Amino acid sequence: MIKTKINNVDVETPEGTSILWAARKAGFNIPTLCQHPDLVPGGQCGICVVEIEGVPGLKRSCMTPVGEGFTVRTHTQRVMTVRKQLVELILSNHDTDCLTCIKNNSCELQKLAATLGVDTLEYPKFEEKLPIDKTSVSIVRDPNKCILCGRCTQVCSDIQTVNALAINNRGCDTVITTAFDAGLGNSVCINCGQCVVHCPVGALYENSQIEQVWEALHDPDKFVVVQEAPAVRVMLGEEFGMPPGSLVSGKMHAALRRLNFDAVLDTNFAADLTIMEEGTELLSRLTSGKNLPLITSCSPGWIKFMETFYHDMIPHMSTAKSPQQMFGTLSKTYYAQQKGIPPEKIVSVSIMPCTAKKFECQRPEMNISGYQDVDYVLTTREIGRMMREAGIDLKEMPDEPADDIMGDYTGAGTIFGATGGVMEAAIRSAYFLVTGRELENLDVIPVRGLKGIKEAEIDIDGTKVKVAVAHSCGKARELMDKVAAQLEKDGKCEYQFIEVMACPGGCVGGGGQSWGSNMAKRARRGESLYEEDKLMPHRRSHENPSVQAVYEKFLGKPNSEKSHKLLHTHYYKRSTVDGKVLPENKISE
Partner 1 sequence: MNRVRNHVLISIDAGTIMAGARAVEKALTEEIVRQGLSDEITVLETGSIGATGQGVIIVVYPEGVYYGNVTVQDIPQLVEEHLLKGRLVKRLLLSELPKQHVVTKEKTGLLKEQPRIVLRNSGIIDPENIDEYIAREGYEAIGKAFSLKPEGVIEEIKKSGLIGRGGAGFPTAMKWGFAHNAPGDQKYIICNADEGEPGTFKDRLILEGDPHKLIEGMIIAGYAIGATKGFIYIRGEYSLSIERLEKAIAQARQYELLGDNILESGFSFDLSVMKGAGAYVCGEETALIESLEGKRGHPRLKPPFPAIAGLWHKPTVVNNVETLANIPEIIWRGATWYRGYGTEKCPGTKVYTIIGNVATPGIIEAEMGTTLRDIIYEYAGGIKEGKKFKCALVGGAAGAFLGPDMLDVQMDFANLKEYAAVLGSGAILVMDEDADIVDMLQSVLHFFKHESCGHCVPCRLGTAQLVKVIDRIAASKGIKEDIEKLSNISDVMRDTSFCPLGQSLCLPISSALKYFHDEVYARIPL
Partner 2 sequence: MDKEAILKKFKPTLDNILYILHDLQDENPQHYLSKDDIKVCADYLNIPYSYTHSVASFYTMFSMKPRGRNIIRLCDSPPCHLMGSKSLLDYLQRTLKVTTGETTKDGIFTLELTSCLGACGVAPAMMVNNEMFGNLTPEKVDTILDKRRKEL
Residues forming the active site: 278, 281, 298, 318, 357, 360, 365, 507
For residues 180-199, which are near partner 2 according to CB under 8 A? 180-181, 187-188
549 lines the binding site for partner 1 (CB under 8 A): no
**For residues 567 and 280, what is the distance between their CA atoms, to the nearest angstrom?**
13
**For residues 106 and 381, what is the distance between their CA atoms, to the nearest angstrom?**
11
The binder of partner 1 chosen from 116, 148, 195, 306 (CB under 8 A): 148
168 lines the binding site for partner 2 (CB under 8 A): yes
Please state the closest distance from residue 69 (CB atom) to partner 1, in A.
Answer: 16
348 lines the binding site for partner 2 (CB under 8 A): no
Please state the closest distance from residue 503 (CB atom) to partner 2, in A.
Answer: 20
DSSP secondary structure of 239-284: HTTPPTT---HHHHHHHHHHTT-SEE--HHHHHHHHHHHHHHHHHH
The binder of partner 1 chosen from 10, 68, 128, 173 (CB under 8 A): 173
Residues 242, 246, 251: CA angle, nearest 5 degrees: 85
Q: Which stretch binds partner 1 (CB under 8 A): 37-45, 273-281, 336-344, 567-575?
A: 37-45
| CA neighbor of 206 nearest in space, from 414, 511, 584, 497 | 511
| CA neighbor of 427 nearest in space, from 276, 279, 297, 288 | 279
Pairing of strands 49-52, 223-228: unpaired
CA torsion sign for 410, 411, 414, 415 is: negative
DSSP secondary structure of 226-244: EEE-GGGGGTHHHHTTPPT
**Crossing angle of helices 267-288 and 323-332, rounded to 10°:** 110
169 lines the binding site for partner 2 (CB under 8 A): yes
CB of 158 or CB of 344, closer to partner 2: 158
Pairing of strands 2-6, 71-73: parallel
The binder of partner 2 chosen from 129, 170, 489, 586 (CB under 8 A): 170
Task: Determine the size of the site formed for partner 1 (CB under 8 A).
Answer: 30
157 lines the binding site for partner 1 (CB under 8 A): no
Peptide bond into 167 cis (omega under 30): no
The binder of partner 1 chosen from 7, 24, 44, 161 (CB under 8 A): 44
39 lines the binding site for partner 1 (CB under 8 A): no
CB of 91 or CB of 213, closer to partner 1: 91
**For residues 322 and 324, what is the distance between their CA atoms, to the nearest angstrom?**
5
60 lines the binding site for partner 1 (CB under 8 A): yes
**For residues 548 and 410, what is the distance between their CA atoms, to the nearest angstrom?**
12
The binder of partner 1 chosen from 169, 260, 463, 575 (CB under 8 A): 169
**For residues 432 and 435, what is the distance between their CA atoms, to the nearest angstrom?**
5
CB of 78 or CB of 290, closer to partner 1: 78
Q: What is the dihedral of CA 75, 77, 80, 86, to 10 degrees?
A: -140
123 lines the binding site for partner 2 (CB under 8 A): no
| CA neighbor of 317 nearest in space, from 547, 454, 157, 483 | 483
447 lines the binding site for partner 1 (CB under 8 A): no
Please state the closest distance from residue 177 (CB atom) to partner 2, in A.
Answer: 8
Please state the closest distance from residue 88 (CB atom) to partner 1, in A.
Answer: 9
Which residue ranges make up the site for partner 1 (CB under 8 A)?
A: 42-46, 49, 57-58, 60, 63, 78, 82, 85-86, 89-90, 92-93, 123-124, 126, 147-148, 167, 169-174
For binding to partner 2 (CB under 8 A), which residues are involved? 157, 163-170, 178-181, 187-188, 576-577
